[in-house]
Amino acid sequence: MNNYHFEEHHLLLRDQVRKMVEKHVAPIASEIDENNRFPDELVEIFGDMGLLQLWVPQEYGGPGGDLTSVCLVKEEIAKVSESAALLAANNSFGLVLPILNFGSEEQKRHYLGLSAKGRTLSAVAITEPGTGSDVSSMKTRAVKDGDSWVLNGGKIYITFGSVAHFIMVFARTSEGKGANGISAFIVDTRTRGFSYGKQDRKMGIRGVPNVPIFFDNLRVPAENMIGPEGQAFKTCMRILDLNRPTIGAISCGLAQGAIDQATAYARQRNQFGRPIAEFQGIQFMLADMQMQTEAARCMLYDCARMADREEWEGFSAKASMVKCFASDTAMKVTTDAVQIFGGAGYMRDFPVERYMRDAKINQIFEGTNQIQRLVIARHMLRG
């Protein structure tokens, strides 16, 4: 793997994560998927290494990681398990990034200090039965009552919703045009009025709980609102821009893991008296898989470097490009890996069928790839 002008601390982190993955993640990756089990033991391991809280700044007690660090970690873990990779830096999207970018100093001291301990899990609650890409149709309501807001409604497909300690909930606080009038709140899941439903049965990322969640007259202190009232859509978009490259990183990891598996299999699988790796048709497939993945990786770390240098001009479009291209690449590469394995690739005995199932979600969540193409095109057309 090219070093992409990584700094020494990035390379050290990558090497440490590789060793951890080999020791702690690879041995349980298939079992997590087979039993749809949330790997509680990885929370402590990741937390002790600073991986769970990677994006918490040093001034609040965290490792002070940047986007490049987060992407490196997620890519390395995803080479053997996307489910485990999603757990790394889990609290970034639902807690650390929104508070770091839009929170008060008091919120930063409390929540970032708590996250820095490496045991805090979070989730984000946006999607509803009628609200996916169309955020403006959100039905969950928050009504001001004294020094609190009272939430009523529900969300679906909430990743880590049943294990999260805090959830960033988006709710309508006033009627406004489009996405105006939507606010964001940090909800402690121990609060009366919070509940969650049965875990969704999914094609992939098994072991990552996705559940519907419900709010029944749930009271949230007014100081738990993030950013200005009614302006949460802007909060969401900024945080999505920062999080989308991490999906690109997971996609690159999945693709590379599938390539490594397919290459090893092609070397040892014999047909017509010789390894199938000697057949030009297989060689062409492997070459295309590696070229596509390398192109996605180059886009990924160029985008991450932009964020780390705070070069925000055009960053939103670049983040969408990375998420879209890398996830499309992962879907193509993992499918081709299954093809190289032939009938064996369709069996659960080999991890490539799991990689292919996992890859599909990356084209859907954090904004579908159709939405990413709209973001990119609009940026182009604005000139």
Annotated catalytic residues are 366
Cα torsion through 338, 339, 343, 349, rounded to 10: -20
- Two tokens, residue 34: 């087979």
Closest by CA position to 142, among listed 110, 111, 168, 103: 168
How far apart are alpha carbons 19 and 225 in whole angstroms?
Answer: 40
Burial of residue 217 (number of CB atoms within 10 Å: 0-12, 13-18, 19+): exposed
- For 281, half-sphere exposure in the C-beta direction (CA atoms, 13 angstrom radius) is 5
What DSSP state is assigned to residue 359? H
Provide the pairing of β-strand 122-125 with 166-172.
parallel
Distance of CA 34 to the CA centre of its chain: 21
* Three-state secondary-structure class, residue 270: strand
Strands (E), 160-209: 166-172, 182-188, 194-196
Q: Are 52 and 164 in contact (CB under 8 A)?
A: no
Q: Are 276 and 341 in contact (CB under 8 A)?
A: no
How far apart are alpha carbons 115 and 65 in whole angstroms?
Answer: 13
Closest by CA position to 300, among listed 78, 114, 100: 78
